[in-house]
Amino acid sequence: MKIIQISDFHLRGDGKLSFQKADTIAALNKTIAYFCSLKEYELPEYFVVTGDLADGGTREGYEIIREKIHQLPRPCYIVPGNHDKRDFFLEMFPAETPVKEDIKPYICYTLDDDPIRTIVLDTSKPGCHSGGMTDKAAQWLETKITEYPDKPTLVFTHHPPFVTGLPAMDEGFDQADRLAEILKKHKNVRLCCGHMHTSIFTMWNGIPCVTCPSVSMQMEVDFRRKDGPDVTPDELKDNFKGGGDRFFLGNPAYLIHDLQGDTINTHYVTIPAEADYSGPWPFKYYDGEGH
**pLDDT tens digit sequence for 29-40:** 999 999 999 999
- What's the pLDDT score for residue 289? 76
Instruction: Kindly list the structural domains of the chain, giving each domain's residue range(s) and its CATH number in brackets, ordered by start.
Output: 2-282 (3.60.21.10)
Q: Dump pLDDT digits (tens) for 213-264.
A: 999 999 999 999 999 999 999 999 888 999 999 999 999 999 999 999 999 9
pLDDT in tens, 46-80: 999 999 999 888 899 999 999 999 999 999 999 99
The 10s digit of each residue's pLDDT in 193-203 is 999 999 999 99
Q: Whole-model pTM?
A: 0.96
Distance CA 43, CA 13 (A): 29
Please tell me the distance from the alpha carbon of residue 289 to that of residue 55, in angstroms, as a whole number: 10
Q: What Cα–Cα distance (Å) separates residue 167 from each residue in 159, 163, 208, 220, 288?
A: 14, 9, 21, 12, 24
- Asked whether the beta carbons of 243 and 166 are under 8 A apart, the reply is yes
- Asked if residues 257 and 2 have their Cβ atoms less than 8 Å apart, the reply is yes
Query: Which pLDDT value is given to residue 84?
Result: 93
Angle among Cα 131, 136, 140 to the nearest 5 degrees reads: 105
pLDDT at position 6 = 98
Which pLDDT belongs to residue 56? 84
Kind and range of the H or E element at 237? helix 233-237
